[in-house]
Structure 1
Amino acid sequence: MNLNSGGSARRGRRGARRAPMAEINVTPFVDVMLVLLIIFMVTAPLLVSGVPVELPESSAKPLDQKAEPIDISIDKEGQVFLDSEPVSDGELSARLEQIAGEQDPDNPRQIMLRGDTAISYGEMMKVMGELNRVGLNSVSLLTTAAAAPVTEGSSEEQ
């Protein structure tokens, strides 16, 4: 009798094994995705421009672009950047002449000129004068979008 009762106890333990878990634990996956989302949200605004410039506002519509434009930025200290590289006044003239000599006259490259709101009008005109002197006349002045003005008859005032 002892043998039989011992055998049934073994079978009972064997039959009481845990069943394999068929569910997928997604908590680590969600944690990793949230961390990646935060990283992309923080780094995305930094990738927009290499030179921090506070642009003025405008209600003009954006232009369609075919070729990669040349980006010229002037920061609030008056430092000029050509495609995110700082350039001096003398170096700017030479680099612009080189760009003008390399471009196709039938399809000129667009120049994107960005100037901080803190710079003087003369600093912006100095760069635009150099662009005109070397023959780069397809210049766009970049701004930020302005808020729509409220008219007197609109429902927002009521």
Structure 2
Amino acid sequence: MRTARRHKRFKLKSEINVVPYIDVMLVLLIIFMVTAPMINASVDVNLPQAEAKALHTKDQPVIVSVDQDGKLYLTLGDSKKEPIDAEALKVKVGAFVKENPDVSVLVAGDRGGKYDGVYQVLADLQQAGVAKVGLMSTPESGK
């Protein structure tokens, strides 16, 4: 009878103690809440100027030009530059890239134009299914 009482008194618990896990989780949550605003802080970057090498491809690239007023022009392969609107740009470039997945798509923005025009073209090309887009520039003068 004495052994039965001893077994009741020293019975093992089969429960998981989750209090330490909750403590660790709360500490990590506080750390992430404090560091998250620091990650999104903007930093001024002064990029170096260099002369970029020209791109050499087999196929003629698709060139989307944005002028100073934000008007769009499209050049597909060897064809002439033609004015186009944003919806037609998505349809034409999307179809062209589906046929030729290896074709280069380049965006040429006017130096005096607004950044918003180029950004909108990049978003439209992404919606059209273009995976990679390059930005065109003119070579550095004076070298």
TM over 0.5: yes
In 2, the alpha carbon distance for the partners of 1:147 and 1:97 equals: 35
Does structure 2 conserve the Cα–Cα contact (< 8 Å) formed by 1:72 and 1:80? yes
TM-score computed with the length of structure 2 as normaliser = 0.55
Which consecutive segments of 4 or more residues in structure 1 shift more than 3 A?
Answer: none
Does structure 2 conserve the Cα–Cα contact (< 8 Å) formed by 1:58 and 1:143? no
Higher relative contact order, structure no. (Cα contacts within 8 Å, ≥ 6 residues apart)? 1
Q: Give the AA of the match of 1:67.
A: D
Residue 96 of structure 1: how far off its partner (Å):
2.0
Does structure 2 conserve the Cα–Cα contact (< 8 Å) formed by 1:74 and 1:114? yes
TM-score computed with the length of structure 1 as normaliser = 0.51
Matched positions, count? 90
Q: Give the AA of the match of 2:92.
A: R
Instruction: Decide whether aligned partners of structure 1 residues 75 and 146 sit closer, same or farther in structure 2, where only a CA change above 3 A counts.
Output: same
Does structure 2 conserve the Cα–Cα contact (< 8 Å) formed by 1:58 and 1:145? no
Q: Give the AA of the match of 2:113.
A: I
Structure 2 unpaired stretches of 5+:
1-48, 76-80
What is the aligned partner in structure 2 of residue 130 from structure 1?
A: 124
1:99-114 equivalences in 2 (<5 Å): 99-104=96-101, 108-114=102-108
Residue 58 of structure 1: how far off its partner (Å):
5.7
Kindly report the root-mean-square deviation, in angstroms, between the aligned alpha carbons of the 2 structures: 2.1
1:4-153 equivalences in 2 (<5 Å): 59-83=51-75, 84-104=81-101, 108-147=102-141
Instruction: Decide whether aligned partners of structure 1 residues 117 and 58 sit closer, same or farther in structure 2, where only a CA change above 3 A counts.
Output: farther
What is the aligned partner in structure 2 of residue 10 from structure 1?
A: none
Cα deviations by residue, 1:9-53 (Å, 9 ceiling, x for unpaired): xxxxxxxxxxxxxxxxxxxxxxxxxxxxxxxxxxxxxxxxxxxxx
Structure 1 unpaired stretches of 5+:
1-56, 150-158
